[in-house]
Amino acid sequence: MMPWRPPRLIEASSSSANAACTRQRSLDVHLSIVDQNSLSDENYLRPVCQALERRFRSRPRRWMASLKQKYFLNPWLAAGLVVATVGLVCILIQAVYSVLSYVKAGNSWAC
């Protein structure tokens, strides 16, 4: 196994002119380091790595991340989502008050 070096040093020391090849090589080195460190039993950060992995793979976190990437990168879409949410809340409040006023007036549901 190669000793760890930053990716730029790996690319600079490479004899290949193909940048994709050196990036792939640096990715392979990093993945091998991660695999060796996360799978070894004597790693003192193993519980932390497992907790981070569970958090990363949780469905609500992935859903929130995709929502953020899709809608909250554009400020107009974010503002539209906020306005739509406020409108929906107002409609629900109006529906509750209209039902309550109908019931308090003593009207029956039957026609």
Model pTM score: 0.41
Inter-axis angle of helices 59-71 and 75-104, nearest 10: 110
Q: What is the CB neighbour count within 10 angstroms for residue 81?
A: 13
Q: Cα–Cα distance between 56 and 79 in angstroms, integer?
A: 27
Q: Give the Å distances, CA to CA, from 30 to 52, 56, 57, 75, 91.
A: 18, 19, 20, 36, 53
| Residue pair 14/25 in contact by the 8 Å Cβ criterion | yes
pLDDT recorded at residue 15: 52
| Residue pair 22/14 in contact by the 8 Å Cβ criterion | yes
> What are the pLDDT tens digits along the chain (111 aa)?
555 555 565 555 555 455 556 777 887 877 777 666 555 667 777 788 788 888 878 888 888 888 888 777 888 888 998 999 999 999 999 999 998 888 887 766 655
pLDDT recorded at residue 90: 98
